[in-house]
Structure 1
Amino acid sequence: MALCTIPCAIYRGGTSKGIMVRGRDLPADPTERDRILLRLFGSPDPRQIDGLGGATPTTSKLAIVEASSRLDADVDYTFGQVSIDEPYIDYRPNCGNISSAVGPFAVNSGLVDVQRDGIATVRIYNTNTDALIVAHFAVKDGRFAPGGDTSIAGVPGTGSPIYLDFFRIGGGVSGSLLPTGRRVDEVVIKDGRRFRVTVIDAGNLTVLMDAEELGLLGSEVREVDMKHAWPTIEWVRQQVGRMLGLYDEHEIVNPTTHALPKIALVHTPVAYQTTSGSAVEACAYDISARVLTMGRLHPTYAVTGAIALAVACKLPGTVAHDHVSELGKAPGMIRIGHPAGILEVGAEVEDDTVPRVTKVTLMRTARPLIAGMAWI
Structure 2
Amino acid sequence: MPIKTPDAANPCVFISAEDVGKVGTETPQELAGDLGFLSNMEMIRQAGSFRMGVTPDIAAAKQMQSVPKVAIVAAPTDAKIQSGKVLLGTDVDLVVRMISMQQPHRAVPITGALCLAIACRIDGTIPARLARATLNTLTLSQPSGTIAVDANVRYINNTPVALSGTVLRTARLLFSGLVHH
Question: TM-score band, normalised by the shorter chain?
Answer: 0.7 to 0.9
Secondary structure of the corresponding residue to residue 118 of structure 2: helix
TM-score (ref. length: structure 1) = 0.41
Is residue 208–residue 320 contact of structure 1 (8 Å, CA) maintained in 2?
yes
Residue number in structure 2 paired with 1:253: 62
Residue number in structure 1 paired with 2:30: 224
Is residue 45–residue 69 contact of structure 2 (8 Å, CA) maintained in 1?
yes
CA drift at 1:351: 2.5
What number of residue pairs does the alignment pair up?
Answer: 166
Residue number in structure 1 paired with 2:11: 205
Secondary structure of the corresponding residue to residue 62 of structure 2: coil
TM-score (ref. length: structure 2) = 0.82
Residue number in structure 2 paired with 1:344: 148
Residue number in structure 2 paired with 1:277: 84
Aligned-residue identity in percent: 26
The 2-side partners of 1:297 and 1:270 are apart by 19
Distance verdict in 2 for CA 1:351–1:223, change over 3 Å: farther
Structure (1 or 2) with the larger CA radius of gyration: 1
> Higher relative contact order at CA 8 Å, sep ≥6: structure 1 or structure 2?
2
Is residue 348–residue 358 contact of structure 1 (8 Å, CA) maintained in 2?
yes
Residue number in structure 2 paired with 1:236: 44
Q: Indicate the RMSD between aligned Cα atoms, in angstroms.
A: 2.2
Structure 1 residues not aligned, in runs of 5+ = 1-172, 178-200, 367-376
CA drift at 1:315: 1.1
Q: Which of 346, 359, 368 in structure 1 is aligned with 2:164?
A: 359
The 2-side partners of 1:296 and 1:289 are apart by 14
Residue number in structure 1 paired with 2:73: 266
The 1-side partners of 2:169 and 2:85 are apart by 20
Greater percentage in helix? 2
Structure 2 residues not aligned, in runs of 5+ = 172-181
Letter in 2 for 1:253: K
Residue number in structure 2 paired with 1:299: 106
Is residue 31–residue 37 contact of structure 2 (8 Å, CA) maintained in 1?
no
Secondary structure of the corresponding residue to residue 18 of structure 2: helix
Secondary structure of the corresponding residue to residue 149 of structure 2: strand
Q: Which of 257, 281, 287 in structure 1 is aligned with 2:94?
A: 287
Letter in 2 for 1:363: L
Letter in 2 for 1:297: P
CA drift at 1:293: 1.3
The 2-side partners of 1:351 and 1:304 are apart by 22
Is residue 268–residue 325 contact of structure 1 (8 Å, CA) maintained in 2?
yes
Letter in 2 for 1:351: Y
Residue number in structure 2 paired with 1:333: 137
The 1-side partners of 2:94 and 2:61 are apart by 34
Distance verdict in 2 for CA 1:245–1:350, change over 3 Å: closer
Greater percentage in strand? 1
The 2-side partners of 1:175 and 1:307 are apart by 20
The 2-side partners of 1:252 and 1:342 are apart by 31
Is residue 46–residue 61 contact of structure 2 (8 Å, CA) maintained in 1?
no
CA drift at 1:174: 6.2
When structure 1 is superposed on structure 2, of 244-253 and 298-307 the one drifting more is: 244-253
